[in-house]
Chains A and B, each alone.
Chain A
């Protein structure tokens, strides 16, 4: 039920390919800056310093790889769940061009030092304006496709897709409010503690609306597709959906615990962060229970392996996150390497594993080929899993060690270590992290090669396809 139904799948091809390109950029830069932290001689000012490259790494990862592939799969999934072709393929083509222009502009302007400094909202106002245009084009196309659908019921994936469209719009507009000085420079419209509170309302809900709801939409669609059995409970996914989008927005200030923002905002953030375990784990259980009687597929079906490990990391992420948002634990590990360890379990473990599965599933279908090599896909799985675990585990240990050293006191109450003494102990962990990054990169290259061969050299699929 692909091209013969008139689905606009050429545009999906474009987004899949370009998101992989930006994903490669994000990982290459990530590996490079991990070496810069361990070997400061690798900083080449002014353009290639850690301070300028790290925002390019995060923007390429979240917006290039993340949003790029979400656009691909939102377009792919929405057409199939509504049983109609995309409302405007022409608009989607313009969207692909604009998307690439925006990400390329982001990389260039950030390298030149045009940077608003607000995390994941670094882009200066002319580029940010293009992002808004891009999002409006995208949203209109998806919403119109849904409005004009041929299938009356909206499957849960469409719920998450709609929530993403409106959520990102609200977050992005509010946090990017700026006072322009010139085309290349602006100041935040908010000051001091207000700016901090707005920023982390945005920053944490970018995690919600970019790194949680879209992968969940994709997971809920592709898990049943991969296993051939439906999702365990529609009702559970509905309850989880509403509680997730209700509770997430209260939690931003857990990034500001002990900072000079009002205590009650911090306490609410802490409470809601812990409550978020419930809807998060409802999705995890929904995934696990869908596997009842199907667990043998973990051995036989490589797609299931990616998806189930993905949702497992989501589950671990949503237990670790709330624990970090408790004041006492935050006091200990905040500002240390623990946090990058946490973040990368979510981005490399949860989001990327689900996206890999979705790409492996869709590319052969839209190109009418077969996957070039399943053993290679298995190898890819183990390499990225190993690389990611090395990254996260070394960073957790490094974070706990540095936190312990920073808190160590002498018998007379003075601090035992100066800051630099705690930093010097981190080098071995940073070498290991960089090694983990190289392993991850090797896995990613294998994946890209596999997809490349699938697109160009794969055997043509039989004319009659399984649905």
Chain B
């Protein structure tokens, strides 16, 4: 019967594919981005951040970097607080990605200081030795702002003339860094989720020279990009004259300094390895 009636067949086939479409794609519009799920602290992009985001799209960064932290230990411990739908209401398009050739970036905002990003974009392997990321040194060129106002209007994002004027003299790299610092940083997760170190802190490896090689190795992997392999400082401060007590150094590495751009390493290193780094740092001071 219907194999003899192509038009009726076409209509039936269309109806068949529309069932799943309506239930799983159309209906969810009613629940996703519901005002109840909105997060008040999540703000639209500024003109500079939006231009940075467009460069991220233009360069296809989403081919290697995801922007969703899943509620799974290996994600939240590595990247931070899991992603919430309310954080993405201004994302047109979404940039969650599908493959992590590089790390997830959903919580990159505020993790590193601007200077780290600039150095890393220009020469990724200078900061992360075994990285396979392409160099984006060419972004150090004037930002094209001819469409900025049209873009802000198209997305109905608020802006002032001062915001637009402030774009003068900015480079594409500036815009990219501004965008990176905004991603995932609109909710105060760093402060709320900060690993607080409680109780008296005592270095279990104090004067234990046998942990120094491992401490040095950990330093080279996790700290040297910013503080230099010889601890002379670069993006971060010089560490050669470390006169703070062990417990203070431990707390800084373990929990980070949100305001100063020092990332928290507690989740990556754990307590024991953090103490080994502390022991190494103090040993350099003593020389």
Contact = CB atoms under 8 A, between A and B. Distances in A.
Nearest to A402: B100
A246 B16 contact: yes
Given A162-B6, A179-B92, A38 B21 contact: no
B232 interface: no
Chain B CB count within 10 A is highest, among A149, A191, A238, A253, for A191
Contacts of A51: 59-61, 63-64, 134
A117 B95 contact: yes
Interface residues of B, number: 87
A45 B62 contact: no
Interface string B64-78: 101010111110011
B224 to A, nearest CB: 13
Contacts of B29: 194
Contacts of B24: 197, 201, 249-250, 252-253, 265, 268-269
Contacts of B96: 196, 256, 259
B14 A170 contact: yes
Contact of A406 (B25, B71, B74, B102): B74
Contacts of A268: 23-24
A50 B134 CA distance: 8
Contact of A420 (B66, B99, B128, B147): B128
A340 interface: yes
A414 B76 CA distance: 11
A422 to B, nearest CB: 10
A37 B101 contact: yes
A232 interface: no
B54 interface: yes
B32 A261 contact: yes
Given A51-B59, A265-B24, A418-B221, A167 B33 contact: no
Q: How large is the interface on A (under 10, 10 to 19, 20 to 34, 35 or more residues)?
A: 35 or more
B151 interface: yes
A185 interface: yes
B192 interface: no
A88 B266 CA distance: 69
Contacts of B28: 194, 197, 261-262, 265
A335 B94 contact: no
B92 A166 contact: no
Contact of A413 (B33, B130, B270): B270
B246 interface: no
Contact of B20 (A192, A246, A331): A246
Contact of B222 (A162, A249, A418): A418
B58 interface: yes
A166 B94 contact: no
Contacts of B94: 188, 191-193, 195-196, 199
B93 A415 contact: no
A104 B268 CA distance: 46
A303 B18 CA distance: 37
A300 interface: no
Contacts of B219: none
- Interface hub of A193, A248, A331 (most chain B Cβ within 10 A): A193
B135 interface: yes
A194 B86 CA distance: 11
A406 B79 CA distance: 12
Interface string B254-287: 0000000000001111111100000000000000
Contacts of B72: 258, 331
Contact of A249 (B17, B88, B273): B17
A52 B17 contact: no
Contacts of B135: 40, 43, 45
B85 A192 contact: yes
B58 A193 contact: no
B63 A258 contact: no
Contact of A410 (B124, B128, B272): B272
Given A195-B94, A335-B99, A170 B4 contact: no
A201 B25 contact: yes
Contacts of B71: 258
A410 B78 CA distance: 13
Contact of B134 (A43, A119, A247, A421): A43
Interface in B14-46: 14, 16-21, 23-25, 28-29, 31-33
Given A194-B29, A335-B100, A423 B14 contact: no
A193 B33 contact: yes
B136 A162 contact: no
A191 B33 contact: yes
A459 to B, nearest CB: 40
A66 interface: no
Contact of B58 (A115, A118, A163, A259): A115
A390 to B, nearest CB: 20
B98 A117 contact: no
Contacts of B3: 153-154, 159, 238
Nearest to A208: B17
Contact of B130 (A43, A170, A189, A420): A420
A159 B13 CA distance: 9
Contacts of A256: 96
B209 interface: no
B84 interface: yes
Contact of A250 (B20, B63, B131): B20
Contacts of A188: 92-94
Contacts of A464: none
B103 interface: yes
Contacts of A185: 54, 147, 151
A4 interface: no
Interface of A: 36-38, 40, 43, 45-46, 49-52, 54-55, 113-119, 143, 146-147, 149, 152-154, 158-159, 162-163, 166-167, 170, 174, 179-182, 185, 187-199, 201, 238, 242, 245-253, 255-256, 258-262, 265, 268-269, 272, 331, 335-336, 339-340, 406-407, 409-410, 412-415, 418-421, 423-424
19 contacts: A40-B135, A45-B136, A52-B59, A143-B10, A146-B6, A159-B3, A180-B154, A192-B87, A193-B33, A194-B29, A197-B24, A259-B96, A262-B28, A272-B20, A339-B98, A410-B272, A414-B266, A415-B78, A420-B221
Given A159-B9, A249-B25, A414-B267, 6 more contacts: A40-B133, A46-B59, A143-B10, A166-B13, A260-B68, A335-B66
Closest 9 CB pairs of A and B: A414-B270, A192-B88, A51-B60, A249-B20, A43-B134, A258-B70, A113-B58, A250-B20, A188-B93
